[in-house]
Chain A
C-alpha cells in the first residue's frame, strides 16, 4: 500500500548564525489513516515540522512525499488542499463568520455545502453565534473553532493541528476532539496533533511522535510510549509533564 505521507531525513536549520540545526534526520511515515500526537518540550520545532508538512516553511534538507509523490513535483495548492495546516493563532479573514466558513468553496469554485457547515457549527458549539457577525469580533476560543471549521470544510486527508484546543474551555475542547475524531473514524482523515496536554494526547491519539535531542526521537503506539518510553528523554518528558506512571 502506498503511504499517505512520508518524511525523509528532514532537516531544518536555525537562523544562519547558529551552527546546530533545529532538527535533523526526521523520518516518519503515515502508512494509513491515523491520529498522531506530536509531542516534545517547547522549542523542539514541532510547529515548524507541521509548517514544513503543509509547505508553509521550506526544509533545509530531506524530502516529503504525499502518496509517494515528492513535494517538489506537486502543485503546492493540491498538496495543501490535502494536507491542511490549522495554526495555533487563529487568524480570521476579513468579513463575517459566514465569509470565513465559505472561504474554501470560494477559493476552489465549489458549491458551498451549507448543511455540512451548519452541522459542524452546531457540533463545535458555534450554533449560537450569528453567522453575519464580524469574525474579528469573536473571542479567542470562538476564532479557534471558526478557523478549524474553515479548514474542515476543505475535507483534507491530513489535518495538521497546531495546539488547536489551547485557548478552549473544557467543554469546547471536548467538542472539538469529538468532531475531529469522528472525522478520523468516518472519513479516514489523518490527524496530527501538536499538544502540550498529555491527557489529550492519551485520549485522542493512537500514535506518538516524540521530538527531542534535535530529531524525531521516538515513534510508536501511544500507550506503549506512555507506559514504556524507549528513551530517557521520553521518560523525563512524561515525568516532567506529571501524567506518567
Chain B
C-alpha cells in the first residue's frame, strides 16, 4: 500500500469526527488523540520489527517480548486492584503461559525460532492471556462477593483457604475461559480473524493462512486454560486475611 493510499484512510477518521460533531458526542479530542496514537504506535512498531527481523538478535527479541509482558501484566492487574502483589502473580501466570507456548511451538518445530514468528505469535498469546487474566480477576471479585455466604459456611466448618475457595475459583476459571472457547466455535463463520485476514491481503495462500490461524486458535485455548489456572492457584489466598477471614479489596473511584 502506498503512502498516498494510506493517507486516504484518514477519510475514516473524518467520518468519525463528523458523526461526533453532528451528534454532539464531544469525542473529537479523543478521536484525534486515538488517531495520532494508533498511527504513531503502529508505524513505530513497524520500524522496530523491521529492524529486529534484520538483526536476528536473540536478546532483542527477548526484550520485546518482555516489554509486551510488562504492559499486559500492568493492564490485567488493574482488574485486581487492591489485591496485594497481584501484578507479580499476573506476571507469573502470563509469563509461564508464554514460555510454555513458545517452548511447545519451537520445541516441536511448529514454528521457526525467528523473530518473524516469535514476536507476532507471542503478541497474540500474551494479549489473549492478558484478557483472560483480567476476566478471571473481575469474575473472582464478583464471585467472592456473591458467594460470601458459601465461603463463610466452609470457613465455619474449619476449612482452609483453598477448600473455602474451591467452588469460587472453579466458577471464575470457567467463565474466564468461555469467551475463548466460544471464539473457537464460531471462528471463520462470524468473522475472519485479523491475522488470517492480514496474511491473505498480503498475498499469502488462504490455506496457508488458515493453518496458522488454526495454530493460533488452539494455542489460545490452552493459553487461556493455563493462565487462569495458574492465576487462580497464585491468587486465591489474597482474598483472605492472615487469620483466614474474607477480605474484599475496596473499589477505588
Q: CB within 8 Å of B: which residues of A?
A: 54-58, 71-72, 76-78, 80-81, 84-87, 89, 91, 93-94, 103-104, 107-108, 147, 150-151, 154
Contacts and interface: CB of A to CB of B under 8 A. Distances in A.
B245 interface: yes
Interface stretch (B83-91, B125-133, B153-161, B201-209): B153-161
B243 interface: yes
23 contacts: A58-B241, A58-B245, A72-B243, A76-B245, A77-B158, A77-B244, A78-B158, A80-B158, A81-B158, A84-B156, A86-B156, A87-B153, A87-B156, A91-B152, A91-B153, A94-B150, A103-B153, A104-B158, A107-B157, A107-B159, A107-B163, A151-B156, A151-B157
Most central of B157, B167, B245 by chain A CB within 10 Å: B157
A107 B149 contact: no
Contact of A80 (B150, B156, B167): B156
Nearest to B160: A77
B152 to A, nearest CB: 6
A76 B243 contact: yes
A56 B155 contact: yes
A94 B149 CA distance: 12
Nearest to B244: A76
B243 A55 contact: yes
B245 A57 contact: yes
B153 A154 contact: no
A156 B158 CA distance: 10
Interface of B: 149-150, 152-160, 163, 167, 241, 243-245
B245 A150 contact: no
A120 B11 CA distance: 77
Given A56-B155, A56-B156, A154-B158, 20 more contacts: A54-B156, A55-B243, A58-B241, A58-B243, A76-B155, A76-B244, A80-B155, A81-B157, A87-B153, A89-B149, A91-B150, A93-B154, A103-B154, A107-B157, A107-B159, A107-B163, A147-B153, A150-B153, A151-B157, A154-B157
A12 to B, nearest CB: 14
Contacts of A58: 241, 243, 245
Contact of B154 (A55, A87, A107, A147): A107
Contacts of A107: 154, 157-159, 163
A147 B152 CA distance: 12
B160 A85 contact: no
A98 to B, nearest CB: 15
A108 B154 contact: no
Closest 5 CB pairs of A and B: A81-B158, A91-B149, A76-B244, A85-B156, A77-B158
A89 B160 CA distance: 22
Nearest to B167: A94
B158 A87 contact: no
A150 B243 contact: no
B38 to A, nearest CB: 44
Contacts of B153: 87, 91, 93, 103, 147, 150
Given A56-B152, A89-B149, A108 B245 contact: no
Nearest to B157: A104
Nearest to A80: B158
Nearest to B152: A56
Contacts of A86: 156
A147 to B, nearest CB: 8
Contacts of B155: 56, 76, 80
Contacts of B157: 80-81, 84, 103-104, 107, 150-151, 154
A150 to B, nearest CB: 7
